[in-house]
């Protein structure tokens, strides 16, 4: 038996055959010329036919995909037969005698480069173009279709990591678990797995070497994959398969003693807000406004911004909404804000700091938020990301005052903000702890690096202590000012049901997460009183490692096993 160990990001125990993500399609040789047996015209026809076949295949996959996947696949299918793309490739074939697969590769690459120059990182269209490029080359050369494999039976998907386009098209009825050799517990694949409620293990070195068809046991509570399931493993998987079904969220987060712990959603735009409202989120605890700016080469006008914000507010009439100002930089650069190359972008000019290098954008964004709020009866709170000092909090609060935005806050994402929470909360009304960044800065571990996934884990006792310090600072600030200062958590930690209990036990007032995770978090919170949550938090905090902190909390939460969480 071979055992692989990684970091479990969504609990579950399943047994099934492994299917590996196919090898990515490689670049055809740079000097690949047209086959002398084929005329330019014939090659051009072949390109068109391959593009049509790819389009038809994507549309067929869209039929069987989840709701979000459908939209992604449909938009990608349009890209396959994009006229400019095909024209570019055909020109290369007919005028320069380039082989069709090389021609598509070059045409798509230059098209993607143009898009990249126009838009921000990960501009959706660029991902689409690369996806389509690989598919057409595979079709032209007879290689297996790239992307998530399909099978007649459910399977465990193994991959290095998943691209955003892959994750959006993943069908949870086919894929019963995800195991990746890279990625971290706060990165993209983990967020997706939690949203889909899919057992997942990331940073499990070696899993990409498992032969296709090998039956494995995946225990994502323990972060373990076994290639020869034992009887005990089979029993555990069967118990998981017969777990109590998770009820839909009923619209109010409550503990067993009736304490209300509002459960909010993290959203990026009107569409995701509508989806969150459909899942009965109690409001929005984090609107990542930079998502609405991706793909813009220049700052959008105040009117355009206001419309985007309004579409989110409209999804939650009368409800609580926390708007976060632009968090550009590091892994989310925007071309009009992040103009210089940086050696260490995570430690660079990002978040609130961009106001120092490109002044004006933040002020106009606040005007747009104010404008959108005027036509809405939602309760709008506004906060800034990446705050390190009390004077930054004061300056931000003054900017909000000037435009007439009433409820002011900042994020706690740096150890500096956590240890200074009391002073910071002398300047603002609330804080929201971004545990994704707070973990990376506390542990000095890049949140995108799979090799550091064990450090980049919000269960790390040092991170839990940072959260405790923040809550204690907020309590003192509340007493000193005679006004309740609120503490929320809007990082991925809030979406982990066991960790959510610890956060509540530490004194966090509200939690905000990917809307798909709310039902599980709510079900577990319902099983504990405030007092019990406090005991669990004390237990977790007294451990010396993330694994022990997690195990200590889980041992005190039998409901996790019942629900298979
Ligand atoms: C965080 O850092 O936890 C957070 C919520 O912000 P983001 O993930 O957008 O950096
Ligand atoms: Mg952050």
* Each residue's pLDDT tens digit, 409-448: 999 999 999 999 999 999 999 999 999 999 999 999 998 7
Does ligand 1 come within 6 angstroms of the Cβ of 436? yes
Give the residue range(s) of CATH 3.20.20.60 domains in the chain. 263-563
Which two structure tokens, joined as six digits, stand for 257? Answer: 């003693």
- Name the residue of 491, 492, 493, 511 whose CB sits within 8 Å of the most ligand 1 atoms, as the mutation to test its pocket: 491
Between CA 142 and CA 149 the distance in angstroms is 16
The answer to whether residue 454 is catalytic is no
Q: DSSP letters of 157-186?
A: EEES---HHHHHT--TTTEEEEEESS--TT
Q: Mean per-residue pLDDT for 303-320?
A: 96
CA of 434 to the centre of ligand 2 (A): 5
Q: Mean per-residue pLDDT for 296-302?
A: 89
CA of 385 to the centre of ligand 2 (A): 7
Integer CA distances (angstroms), 555 to 135, 149, 197, 517, 549, in order: 47, 37, 21, 21, 10
Does ligand 1 come within 6 angstroms of the Cβ of 458? no
pLDDT of residue 28: 96
Whole-prediction pTM: 0.80
Does ligand 1 come within 6 angstroms of the Cβ of 351? no
**Catalytic member of 64, 260, 454, 490:** 490
Render pLDDT for 271-282 as a digit per residue (tens, 0 to 9).
889 999 999 999
Give the residue range(s) of CATH 3.50.30.10 domains in the chain. 3-22+147-241
pLDDT-based confidence at residue 112 (cuts at 50, 70, 90): confident
pLDDT of residue 304: 93
Contacts of 415 (CB under 8 A, 6+ apart): 438, 441, 442, 466
Q: Is the pLDDT of residue 65 over 80?
A: no
Q: What is the DSSP letter of 529?
A: -
- Name the residue of 385, 439, 487 whose CB sits within 8 Å of the most ligand 1 atoms, as the mutation to test its pocket: 385
Note whether 286 and 191 are within 8 A (CB).
Answer: no
**Catalytic member of 64, 188, 260, 320:** 188
Note whether 321 and 264 are within 8 A (CB).
Answer: no
Residue 296: Cβ within 10 Å count: 16
Looking only at the bridges linking them, the beta strands covering 486-489 and 430-433 are parallel
pLDDT of residue 68: 62
Which of 361, 24, 375 has the alpha carbon at shortest distance from 384?
Answer: 361
Percent of the chain predicted with pLDDT > 70: 96
Range with the poorest average pLDDT among 32-46, 67-81, 332-346, 464-478: 67-81
Beta bridge partners of 3: 226
Range with the poorest average pLDDT among 20-34, 524-538, 544-558: 20-34
Q: Please identify, in words, the CATH class of the domain defined by 40-141.
A: mainly alpha
Does ligand 1 come within 6 angstroms of the Cβ of 219? no
Note whether 352 and 385 are within 8 A (CB).
Answer: yes
Q: Mean per-residue pLDDT for 113-121?
A: 67
Q: Does residue 288 have a known ligand-binding role?
A: yes
- Name the residue of 436, 443, 456 whose CB sits within 8 Å of the most ligand 1 atoms, as the mutation to test its pocket: 436
Which two structure tokens, joined as six digits, stand for 236? Answer: 């555990």
Beta bridge partners of 267: 287
CA of 280 to the centre of ligand 2 (A): 25
Between CA 175 and CA 555 the distance in angstroms is 28
Which of 167, 176, 179 has the alpha carbon at shortest distance from 204?
Answer: 179
For the chain, what is the radius of gyration of the CA atoms? 25
Instruction: Pick the residue whose CA is nearest to atom 1 on ligand 1.
Output: 434
3-state SS class at 21: coil
Does ligand 1 come within 6 angstroms of the Cβ of 327? yes
Tell me the average pLDDT of the chain.
Answer: 92
CA of 352 to the centre of ligand 1 (A): 13
Does ligand 1 come within 6 angstroms of the Cβ of 437? yes
Between CA 133 and CA 136 the distance in angstroms is 5
Between CA 269 and CA 65 the distance in angstroms is 22
Which of 493, 524, 472 has the alpha carbon at shortest distance from 9?
Answer: 493
Please state the φ and ψ torsions of residue 443, each to the nearest 5 degrees.
-90, -5
Q: Does residue 413 have a known ligand-binding role?
A: yes
Does ligand 1 come within 6 angstroms of the Cβ of 413? yes
Q: Mean per-residue pLDDT for 447-468?
A: 92
Q: DSSP letters of 445-491?
A: --TT-GGGTTTS-TTSHHHHHHHHHHHHHHHHHHHHHTS--EEEE-S
Instruction: Pick the residue whose CA is nearest to atom 9 on ligand 1.
Output: 288
Instruction: Pick the residue whose CA is nearest to atom 4 on ligand 1.
Output: 434
Q: Is the pLDDT of residue 124 over 60?
A: no
Contacts of 35 (CB under 8 A, 6+ apart): 43, 99
Does ligand 1 come within 6 angstroms of the Cβ of 253? no
Q: Mean per-residue pLDDT for 488-499?
A: 95
Q: Does residue 436 have a known ligand-binding role?
A: yes
Q: Mean per-residue pLDDT for 530-557?
A: 97
Ligand 1 atom with the shortest distance to the CA of 432: 5
Q: Does residue 394 have a known ligand-binding role?
A: no
Ligand 1 atom with the shortest distance to the CA of 266: 5
Note whether 518 and 249 are within 8 A (CB).
Answer: yes
CA of 496 to the centre of ligand 1 (A): 15
Residue 300: Cβ within 10 Å count: 18
Q: Please identify, in words, the CATH class of the domain defined by 3-22+147-241.
A: alpha beta
Ligand 1 atom with the shortest distance to the CA of 434: 3
Q: Is the pLDDT of residue 12 over 50?
A: yes
Q: Is the pLDDT of residue 78 over 70?
A: yes
Contacts of 171 (CB under 8 A, 6+ apart): 64, 65, 66, 69, 148
Looking only at the bridges linking them, the beta strands covering 320-324 and 379-384 are parallel
Which two structure tokens, joined as six digits, stand for 449? Answer: 């690096």
Q: Is the pLDDT of residue 121 over 50?
A: no
Higher-pLDDT residue of 563 and 164 is: 563
pLDDT of residue 473: 98
pLDDT-based confidence at residue 92 (cuts at 50, 70, 90): very high
Q: DSSP letters of 402-414?
A: HHT--EEEEEE-S
Does ligand 1 come within 6 angstroms of the Cβ of 370? no
Which of 411, 429, 432, 419 has the alpha carbon at shortest distance from 350?
Answer: 411
Note whether 377 and 363 are within 8 A (CB).
Answer: no
Does ligand 1 come within 6 angstroms of the Cβ of 290? no
pLDDT-based confidence at residue 119 (cuts at 50, 70, 90): low
Contacts of 241 (CB under 8 A, 6+ apart): 14
Note whether 465 and 416 are within 8 A (CB).
Answer: no
The answer to whether residue 490 is catalytic is yes
Between CA 479 and CA 492 the distance in angstroms is 29
CA of 413 to the centre of ligand 2 (A): 6
3-state SS class at 178: strand
Between CA 201 and CA 296 the distance in angstroms is 34
Does ligand 1 come within 6 angstroms of the Cβ of 185? no
Q: Is the pLDDT of residue 289 over 90?
A: yes
Give the residue range(s) of CATH 1.10.274.10 domains in the chain. 40-141
3-state SS class at 310: helix
CA of 506 to the centre of ligand 1 (A): 20
Between CA 255 and CA 257 the distance in angstroms is 5
pLDDT of residue 122: 43
CA of 441 to the centre of ligand 1 (A): 12
CATH number of 263-563: 3.20.20.60
Residue 359: Cβ within 10 Å count: 9
pLDDT of residue 165: 58
Contacts of 515 (CB under 8 A, 6+ apart): 195, 265, 266, 267, 272, 275, 276, 279, 281
pLDDT of residue 516: 87
Instruction: Tell me the range of 15-29, 233-247, 318-332, 385-399 where mean pLDDT is highest.
Output: 385-399
Q: Does residue 374 have a known ligand-binding role?
A: no
Contacts of 182 (CB under 8 A, 6+ apart): 160, 161, 202, 203, 450
Q: What is the DSSP letter of 497?
A: H
Between CA 331 and CA 295 the distance in angstroms is 14
Ligand 1 atom with the shortest distance to the CA of 492: 3
Render pLDDT for 169-213 as a digit per residue (tens, 0 to 9).
788 889 999 999 987 776 667 777 877 888 999 999 999 999 999
């Amino acid at each position: 038996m071979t055992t692989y160990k990684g970091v479990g990001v969504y609990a579950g125990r399943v047994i099934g055959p492994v299917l590996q993500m196919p090898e990515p399609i490689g670049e055809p040789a740079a000097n690949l010329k047209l086959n002398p047996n084929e005329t330019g015209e014939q090659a051009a026809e072949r390109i068109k036919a391959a593009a049509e076949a790819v389009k038809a295949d994507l549309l067929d996959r869209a039929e069987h995909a989840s709701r979000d996947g459908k939209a992604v696949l449909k938009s990608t299918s349009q890209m396959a037969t994009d006229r400019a793309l095909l024209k570019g490739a055909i020109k290369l074939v007919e005028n320069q005698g380039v082989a069709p697969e090389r021609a598509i590769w070059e045409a798509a690459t230059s098209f993607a480069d143009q898009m990249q120059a126009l838009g921000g990182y990960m501009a959706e269209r660029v991902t689409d173009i690369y996806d389509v490029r690989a598919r057409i080359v595979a079709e032209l050369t007879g290689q297996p279709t790239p992307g998530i494999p399909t099978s007649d039976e459910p399977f465990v998907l193994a991959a290095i990591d998943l691209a955003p386009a892959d994750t959006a098209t993943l069908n949870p009825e086919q894929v019963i678990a995800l195991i990746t050799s890279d990625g971290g517990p706060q990165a993209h694949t983990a967020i997706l797995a939690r949203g889909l409620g899919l057992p997942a293990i990331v940073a499990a070195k070696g899993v990409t070497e498992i032969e296709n068809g090998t039956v494995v046991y995946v225990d994502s509570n323990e972060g373990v994959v076994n290639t020869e399931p034992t009887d005990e493993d089979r029993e555990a998987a069967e118990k998981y398969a017969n777990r109590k079904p998770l009820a839909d969220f009923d619209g109010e987060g409550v503990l067993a003693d009736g304490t209300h712990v509002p459960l909010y959603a993290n959203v990026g735009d009107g569409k995701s807000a509508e989806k969150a409202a459909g899942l009965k989120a109690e409001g929005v605890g984090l609107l990542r406004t930079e998502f609405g700016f991706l793909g813009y080469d220049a700052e959008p006008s105040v009117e355009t911004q206001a419309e985007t914000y309004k579409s989110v507010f409209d999804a939650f009439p009368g409800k609580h909404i926390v708007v976060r100002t632009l968090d550009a930089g590091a892994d989310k650069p925007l071309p009009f804000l992040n103009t210089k190359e940086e050696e260490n972008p995570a430690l660079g000019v990002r978040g609130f700091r961009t106001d120092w290098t490109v002044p004006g954008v933040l002020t106009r964004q606040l005007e747009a938020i104010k404008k959108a709020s005027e036509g809405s009866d939602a309760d709008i709170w506004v906060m800034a990301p990446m705050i390190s000092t009390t004077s930054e909090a004061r300056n931000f609060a003054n900017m909000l005052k000037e435009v007439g935005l009433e409820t002011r806050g900042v994020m706690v994402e740096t150890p500096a903000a956590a240890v200074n929470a009391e002073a910071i909360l002398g300047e603002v009304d609330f804080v929201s702890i971004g545990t994704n960044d707070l973990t990376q800065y506390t542990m000095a571990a890049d949140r995108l690096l799979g090799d550091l996934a064990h450090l980049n884990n919000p269960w790390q006792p040092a991170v839990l202590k940072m959260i405790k310090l923040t809550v204690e600072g907020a309590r003192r600030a509340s007493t000193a000012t005679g006004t309740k200062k609120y503490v929320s958590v809007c990082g991925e930690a809030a979406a982990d049901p066991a960790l959510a209990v610890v956060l509540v036990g530490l004194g966090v007032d509200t939690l905000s997460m990917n809307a798909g995770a709310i039902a599980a978090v709510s079900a577990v919170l319902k099983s504990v009183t405030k007092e019990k949550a406090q005991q669990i938090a004390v237990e977790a905090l007294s451990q010396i490692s993330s694994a022990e902190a997690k195990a200590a909390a889980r041992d005190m939460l039998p409901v996790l096993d019942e629900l298979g969480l």
